[in-house]
């Protein structure tokens, strides 16, 4: 059944209202993206310094000569994957990409379902893995749009305690790395234990190579220093990953809302064309009827 002119008018009005909402949401997400990018720029300087310190300690063999609760040479019996997703939708393919790439990452590393656990940051990932019967050992929902260091410290403390208690023997963080407003790349980085593999995976261009002495004078002791430095290192990496993931999330949401607004504009153009044609046809029919009636009266 063909749509009436009033039905087309209603669809045009409804689509325009939807476009207003998606345009407003795009503006909000763009604003959040700009804010979190400013936070990320300031944080990158801090995290690069922490990485540099730990890498220099590794080169000086201090990490091998001392022990810390974040270091371990224990046999890996169970691996944890901390998966960072969003708590809500309207982010395009952001969540599906993270989950798909994480599943591939896990499949390439694990032989069975009993030798790994999921640590979910974000409701989408938590719900996905729980519905499929995966072992979700920890979930955190409601990460702020602009995460703070103190907020993420709660996550790090819980994860570190689980590691210390032997609930898992190594930790990988899986998330989408923000490249630009249109592009993000999946990353699966080893965070715990702090060993050479983790240092190599965390090494980035931000870490400047400096010529430093490989011998250190340590006070009060190597162990006491590492008890301060290594937790800061783990906190900085996990916070950086969540901050990076949130940046990619806002970019994905902004792009999705722009796409929705553009699609709404295209649909409105099509509906307006359809409306004008229907109105023109109705006017033509009315003119024909009037002309026919006039001719009938003249006979």
Residue 171 in contact with residue 192, Cβ under 8 Å?
A: yes
Using one digit for the tens of pLDDT, what is the confidence trace for 66-105? 555 555 666 778 899 999 999 888 888 889 999 999 999 9
Residue 8: both structure tokens together: 């087309």
Number of H-type helices and E-type strands within the chain: 7, 5
- Closest listed residue to residue 162, CA positions, set 229, 228, 78, 241: 78
Q: What is the pLDDT of residue 2?
A: 60
Q: What is the dihedral of CA 103, 109, 115, 117, to 10 degrees?
A: -40
Beta strand ranges found along the chain (DSSP E): 79-84, 116-121, 136-140, 170-178, 184-192
Using one digit for the tens of pLDDT, what is the confidence trace for 55-72? 666 666 555 555 555 556
- Closest listed residue to residue 136, CA positions, set 95, 167, 177: 167
Q: What is the pLDDT of residue 205?
A: 45
The segment with the largest mean pLDDT, out of 113-117, 194-198, 204-208, 248-252, is 248-252
Helix, strand, coil share of the chain (percent; to 5): 65, 10, 25
Q: Enumerate the domain spans of the chain.
A: 28-254
Q: What is the pLDDT of residue 198?
A: 57
1-5, 151-155, 274-278 — which is least confidently predicted?
1-5
CA 243 to chain centre: 9
CATH superfamily of this structure's domain 28-254: ATP synthase, F1 complex, gamma subunit (3.40.1380.10)
């Amino acid at each position: 059944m063909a749509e009436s002119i009033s039905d087309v008018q209603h669809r045009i009005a409804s689509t325009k209202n939807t476009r207003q909402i998606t345009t407003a949401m795009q503006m909000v997400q763009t604003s959040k993206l700009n804010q979190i990018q400013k936070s990320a720029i300031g944080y990158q300087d801090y995290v690069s310094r922490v990485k540099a310190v730990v890498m220099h300690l590794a080169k000086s063999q201090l990490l091998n000569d001392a022990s810390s609760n974040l270091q371990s040479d224990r046999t890996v019996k169970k691996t944890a994957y901390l998966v960072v997703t969003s708590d809500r939708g309207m982010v395009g393919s952001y969540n599906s990409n993270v989950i798909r790439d994480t599943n591939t990452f896990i499949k390439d590393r694990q032989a069975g379902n009993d030798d790994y656990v999921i640590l979910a940051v974000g409701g989408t990932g938590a719900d996905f893995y729980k519905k499929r019967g995966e072992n979700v050992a920890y979930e955190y929902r409601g990460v702020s749009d602009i995460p703070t260091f103190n907020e993420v410290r709660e996550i790090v403390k819980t994860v570190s305690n689980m590691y210390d208690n032997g609930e898992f023997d190594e930790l990988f963080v899986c998330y989408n790395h923000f490249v630009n407003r249109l592009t993000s790349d999946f990353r699966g980085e080893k965070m715990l234990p702090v060993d050479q593999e983790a240092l190599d995976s965390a090494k980035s261009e931000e870490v400047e190579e400096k010529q430093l002495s490989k011998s250190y004078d340590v006070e009060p002791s190597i162990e006491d220093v590492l008890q301060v430095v290594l937790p800061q290192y783990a906190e900085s990496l996990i916070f950086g990953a969540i901050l990076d993931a949130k940046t990619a999330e806002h970019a994905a949401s902004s792009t999705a809302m722009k796409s929705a607004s553009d699609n709404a504009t295209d649909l409105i153009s099509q509906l307006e064309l359809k409306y004008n044609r229907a109105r023109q046809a109705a006017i033509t029919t009315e003119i024909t009827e009037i002309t026919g009636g006039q001719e009938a009266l003249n006979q």
